[in-house]
Structure 1
């Protein structure tokens, strides 16, 4: 089996950077990809269009989270097999996961397309943005099958120590979306943004398939599906996909809470979530990199090297996240104006970011520890931590605080508390595991 980076024998710092930096670039390009829709819709269709995109985007966020989680689960299994040097089982797991992905993605889209009205009612979507939100969702859901398979393939390539494809794929998708978005939005309104997104997703999938054939990391045949591998895949994928969906479910609840305010506040919340991605993506890149690294080292029975990578990741991650947080806090209002040119929106955004602040550094710490848990196969523990983080702590606090005198500030405070609590819990869980070892 071909491998791009030697995690077992290579220099820890260099190997980590070789894995993280392309993934970070891919995350930045993903940010640009997502921002293209937001910026063009906000500038061409105004505050109402942006508010509709914020509501519809909550469903997309959940689907992307589910996709990422399933991809991470596949990456855990494949990485461990690559580390163990078992080519036969690796090929079987990959073939089986691809077949399962096609069936699952198609099933999900059929169900969601039939439940569009009910979904928007759950979000308490205001009447003045209901039509636009529904139009965007109905079209954008079609592309989910393509993006699901694309993300599965990027996860598999990453398991072989190749993070570069994800960067190349996102660059291609971003350029297509950047060019197509204004053309389609001017022609079809908010539906045009969805059409441009679907087009870019389909082309990215085609690129992923061509790339995989050229690199030949694994052998794949029409009879690649292996029933014996289904159980192992599901045992890992179900917890990782659930874990990945938990933040998105929490975000959906936040949208429901925010939708009780005016359109300006809804738009401001959407801007904050987009700016947060600037800070979340480095942590996500570190998380994805460590899942692969820890998975391979665990499969190769090199726990000593896992410790080296954890120490290095915490140092690199803390420096990176702290620098980005400072920049966003200083220029939050200016960044907000790029999305929606409304001073009232910018004021809400800048204030909210200052409250959350230090929570983003905590998010990096939590992401590093949960990656270690997942890479070592402790996916249920990682999932439980995220459930406490987002559902047990954040949602109840936000629900109570936002309805009191704090108003929207109550939500920002609840988010901050959950970040702090999660980082502390992750550290304590890891420390306890070391004491038992």
Structure 2
């Protein structure tokens, strides 16, 4: 029942890298998985196909973010039990989260199918691409329930210090998607990309079941499903889910802001969002790693170790993204051609990255602190951080700057949100540290 990696007694950087490296590879595979649709659609269906996919992708990312958000809450919950070595409690807790997640995924599927058209209309999706975008999403939703349960399994394995499952699962589906996509798109158009995605999501779930039966790292007891664990899951997962849906929700608003600038701009934003995954996926992987590790440290009552991991993650993650972002910014124009887009779209993409620039390093630092704040059991505080980040700091500024500076003003709003958010995150972490220091002094005096 012990963690596969000794986060409490092991060397900080080494233990962090053991956790982060497979998660980063898994996130890169997820990036490839998400980019494959864009690559094949852009090259086979042109700018209209790419624009329709971009409109649909905003909602897909929203659904994926809900899965990741619920998973992060579950990871903190289980990691606390693992860190505390609470062997009796774990089977019932695992059974509870899987049962609740299954129910919620079905509800989400039904709501999604009903609300696809109204949401696309609310986003201001142009009529010329509306039908294709709606069809893509309605097919995609068929497999989303399987993906949701798969993400729950990845979260449980992360809590036990096993990041390999997520990496291997994403490798499998990325390869399947890359091979099957062109054939399905040629036959069924944009709907073909959705069909392959559904098949890959079902494949994910099948792999999760096989991996669990083989590793037997944890057990679940359906007879021990209980209300206390259900309440704990909800209390942790609601704020972590709100955290996760902020980026795609913000992206949907941004699409509504830029839609008036024409098809080239929408396609350019779609390409830019795909290229951003090169920075976002490692950042998400680091946030997941920090959340699970800190959750274990808190369960073991080692807040000092939790802070060590935060510092290490900021140094390692910040350095990695600094190098990566420079390469993406320098070659963003050329990379646009890979998606089958022309010079005008490439100009939009190049300008987007040149303005945001240093923002991606700040994004990594903020995400590390978000993972720490969530892992110490304060997901509500991290939720506030993300609401400020993606809604309060970004959307009003985008609206105002659009009126003043046009499209460049929208891009500047991204950069401003990165700057303001890292400042707020530092303030939150400082507050948490002061709180724990005060609690430690009180306990030390009482002990004395």
TM bucket (normalised to shorter chain) is: over 0.9
List gaps (5 residues or longer) in structure 2: 438-448
2:212 is aligned with 1:212: yes
Q: For structure 1, which segment, 41-50 or 118-127, has the greater mean C-alpha deviation from structure 2 after superposition? A: 118-127
Aligned to 1:39: 39
Deviation of 1:221 after TM superposition, in Å, equals: 3.5
SS of residue in 2 equivalent to 1:377: coil
For 1:290-324, what per-residue CA distance to the aligned partner results, in whole angstroms no more than 9, with x for missing partners? 11110001000111211221221111111101100
Alignment deviations for residues 127-184 of structure 1 (CA, whole Å, 9 cap, x no partner): 1111111110110011100100000100100100000110100000001101110111
Matched, 1:306 2:291: no
Deviations along 1:347-390, one digit per CA (max 9) or x if unpaired, are 11011101000000000110111111111101111101111111
2:92–2:223 contact (8 Å) kept in structure 1: no
Aligned equivalents of 1:413, 1:340: Cα separation in 2: 27
**Aligned pairs for 1:47-196 within 5 A:** 47-196=47-196
Distance 2:311 2:302 in 1: 15
2:90 and 2:350 map into 1 onto residues whose CA distance is 48
Alignment of 1:342-421 (within 5 A): 342-402=342-402, 404-421=403-420
State whether residues 96 and 222 of structure 2, in contact with CA within 8 Å, keep that contact through their aligned partners in structure 1: no
- 2: CA distance between counterparts of 1:30 and 1:9? 31
Q: What's the TM-score once normalised by structure 1's chain length?
A: 0.98
Contact 2:23 2:289 in 1 (8 A): yes
| Deviations 1:234-264 (CA, angstroms, capped at 9, x unpaired) | 1101110011111211111111112222111
Q: Which segment drifts farther, 221-230 or 141-150?
A: 221-230
Q: Is the 8 A contact 2:4 2:162 kept in 1?
A: yes
Write the distance in 2 (CA, Å) between the matches of 1:201 and 1:148.
9
What is the CA RMSD across the aligned residues, in angstroms?
1.0
1:310-341 CA distance string (max 9 Å, x none): 22111111110110011111111111111133
| 2: CA distance, partners of 1:345 / 1:184 | 26
State how far apart, in whole Å, the 2-side matches of 1:48 and 1:66 are: 28
1:162-220 Cα deviation digits (max 9, x unpaired) = 00110100000001101110111111111000000000110111001110111112112
Aligned counterpart, 1:228: 228
Q: CA deviation at 1:275?
A: 0.9
SS in 2 for 1:219: coil
**Map of 1:266-345 to 2, 5 A cutoff?**
266-345=266-345
TM-superposed CA distance for 1:9, in Å, is 1.0
3-state DSSP of counterpart to 2:136: helix
For 1:367 and 1:359, how far apart are their aligned partners in 2?
12
Whole-angstrom distance in 2 between the partners of 1:231 and 1:225? 12
CA contact (8 A) 2:321 2:360 kept: yes
1:223 offset after TM fit, Å? 2.7
CA positional deviation for 1:224: 4.4
Give the corresponding residue for 1:435: 434
SS in 1 for 2:432: helix
What secondary structure is seen at the aligned counterpart in 1 of 2:397? helix
Deviation at 1:13, TM superposition (A): 1.0
- Comparing 84-93 with 19-28, greater Cα deviation is found at 84-93
CA separation in 2, counterparts of 1:424 and 1:5?
32
Report the 3-state secondary structure (helix = DSSP H, G, I; strand = E; otherwise coil) of the residue aligned with 2:223: coil
**Structure 1, unpaired ranges of 5+:** none
1:255-301: CA deviation from partner (whole Å, max 9, x where unpaired) = 11122221111000111111111111111111100111100010001
Q: Compute the displacement of 1:108 (Å).
A: 1.0
Between the aligned partners of 1:198 and 1:398, the Cα distance in structure 2 is 34
My pick for the range that moved more, 83-92 or 45-54, is 83-92
User: Which secondary structure state, in structure 2, belongs to the residue aligned with residue 220 of structure 1?
Assistant: coil
